[in-house]
Structure 1
Amino acid sequence: MHFVTGGAFNGKKAWVMNTYQLNKRQGWISAYDDVSLPGNFNRFSEDILVLEGIEKWIKDIVIQYGLEQSRGKWAEQMSKWLQWEKNNLEHTLILIGTDITKGIVPVEKENRIWRDVTGWIYQDISSRAERVEIIWYGINHQIK
């Protein structure tokens, strides 16, 4: 699994598309298109799957399950994805998530919880990912 993060509008999508020589139609699933978080990858024929906008799906999980269960629900989902990747050496999973954990702390309690859970889940993703990349202004910095 490859985790790509960075600020909003900092070139994460373009960097992934260029690095993996993809177009947005090839195994690209975006939360920004109001698509539900896929639970099962067996329906996809592509070897490379990209999940873009994971911070939005995390927010959906926080709304549905609350602070206490969100991290565990995400971990369950991630385990399924990692199994898909492990089942075939050609499979690669790329997660793209905007870093919402910096800057001004939100006033609304719900947004503070979302921000906190997102930070915790990004830590979980980073610990399980083979590679972690931060993209700022279109420039990558591999931290793992």
Structure 2
Amino acid sequence: MHFITGGAFNGKRAWVRKNYCGKKEEQWLSAYDSIPLPVKLPENNHVVTVLEGIELWLKELTKQYDSDRCREIWIRCLEDWSSWEKAKAERKFIVIGTDITKGIVPLEEENRVWRDVTGWAYQDLAAKSDKVDVIWYGLNQTIK
């Protein structure tokens, strides 16, 4: 699993496309396209699977559940995604999430909960991932 993060509009999508896509059969699932959180990945011939917009899926979870339940759902997703990737040696699983955890703490409770859950989810994702990159201005910095 490879986690890609960084600020909004800093080139995460372009970096992933350049480094992973177009070479092999791929599927791109984006929260920005209103696709629901893919809790289970279907068995298919895709070698590369990219999930984009993790922060939006996490926001939807925080609207429905408390923080603890959101984290339980998230950890279950990570386990399922990891199993999908490990089922075939050639598979690559990439997760893109915009960093929303920096800056001023939001005044609204729902936005603070979203920010907290996203921070915890990103920590879980970084721990589970084999590789983590931060993208700023189109440039990557590998931190794991």
TM range (shorter): over 0.9
Q: Give the equivalent residue in structure 2 for 1:27.
A: 27
Report runs of 4+ in structure 1 exceeding 3 Å deviation.
none
Tell me the SS of whatever aligns to 1:27: strand
Q: Give the equivalent residue in structure 1 for 2:69.
A: 69
Question: Which ranges in structure 1 are unaligned for 5 or more consecutive residues?
Answer: none
Q: Is the 8 A contact 1:29 1:35 kept in 2?
A: yes
Superposed displacement of residue 21, structure 1: 3.3
Superposed displacement of residue 43, structure 1: 4.0
Alignment: residue pair count: 143
Q: Give the equivalent residue in structure 2 for 1:86.
A: 86
Q: Give the equivalent residue in structure 1 for 2:139.
A: 139
Give the structure-2-normalised TM-score. 0.94
Q: Is the 8 A contact 1:27 1:46 kept in 2?
A: yes
Q: Is the 8 A contact 2:21 2:48 kept in 1?
A: no
Superposed displacement of residue 68, structure 1: 2.0
Q: Is the 8 A contact 1:12 1:138 kept in 2?
A: yes
Aligned-pair identity (%): 51
Question: Which ranges in structure 2 are unaligned for 5 or more consecutive residues?
Answer: none
Distance 2:86 2:43 in 1: 16
Distance 1:49 1:130 in 2: 15
Give the structure-1-normalised TM-score. 0.94
Q: More deviation in 95-104 or 66-75?
A: 66-75
Distance 1:26 1:8 in 2: 23
Superposed displacement of residue 44, structure 1: 3.5
